[in-house]
Amino acid sequence: MMNSTQKIAIITGGLSGIGRAVARRFAAEGMIVHIGARRGDDPTFERDLRQTLGATVSVRGLDVRDTDSVAAFVAKVVEEHGRVDVLVNAAGVYDEAPVTGHPDRLWDDTIDTNLTGTFKMIRAVLPGMLERKWGRIVNIASVAAHQGMANNAAYCASKAGLLGLGRCVSLEAAPHGVTCNSISPTWVETEMLQQFIEQDMQQTGQSRAEVRARYEASNPQGQLVQPDEIAGLAAFLASDAARAITMADHQVNAGSLW
């Protein structure tokens, strides 16, 4: 069993949205947090994160699509701390296109980032977790893993793939004290959702309040899910208390199908 009280965590895509909220929560709980993002080599992000989230949070450049980038990032964390205890795969992209005429570029980037990138991160950290007999892996999926939506083939396919990947990882890791779970949120009030609201305002001529109200009305609770709510669940799944919870997908859907 792991005997250190300070966990070492990697969060991909942690500069904004759900990933950043998870980083904030992990840091508040005393973890050392390493954020990896495509823009992570910009020193302004490091200064911002340390000022807002604390001195135990750092960021480096990471392209989860690239095997060498993944290997170098994980190796650096292991070099500094000797291990990786927790991995949260929050890096993701979203774009829309109908199946008819769907661009290869959009499909490839979505699958490579959301699904293959998650696989590569898990592949890199799992051997060490198995050796130490302790580890927590949390993949950020989506209700899109369960429900289809027109013009969203690449995104839905990538998120559904995370569920299958997680089951396989869970079964291989279970005898060694390592868990793998996913979280599938509905609309979460992130920077990405704000971009969607802006686009809808331009297309419909509606006010921000009117567009936001439509998103809120998409679930029976009538409220948007907050990033900190996802972070709270991720923190629990990364804890000792969640030892027996694995191979599960946890929908944070406020009662909605999407």
Q: Which amino acid is at 35?
A: I
Cα dihedral across residues 174, 2, 137, 250: positive or negative: positive
Give residue-wise pLDDT tens across range 167-220.
999 999 999 999 999 999 999 999 889 888 998 999 999 999 999 999 999 899
* pLDDT surpassing 60 at residue 3: no
For the chain, report the end-to-end CA distance as a whole number of angstroms: 39
Give residue-wise pLDDT tens across range 95-136.
999 999 999 999 999 999 999 999 999 999 999 999 999 999
Residue 82, burial from CB neighbour count under 10 angstroms (0-12, 13-18, 19+): exposed
**What is the C-alpha separation between 177 and 169, in angstroms, rounded?**
12
Is residue 94 annotated as part of the catalytic site, yes or no? Answer: no
**What is the C-alpha separation between 204 and 252, in angstroms, rounded?**
29
For the chain, helix, strand, coil in percent to 5 are: 50, 15, 35
Give buried/exposed letters for 44-75 (b at 16+ CB in 10 A, else e).
Answer: ebbeebeeebeebbbbbebbbbeeebbeebbe
**What is the C-alpha separation between 36 and 120, in angstroms, rounded?**
13
pTM of the prediction? 0.94
Task: Indicate which residue of 26, 45, 155, 187 is catalytic.
Answer: 155
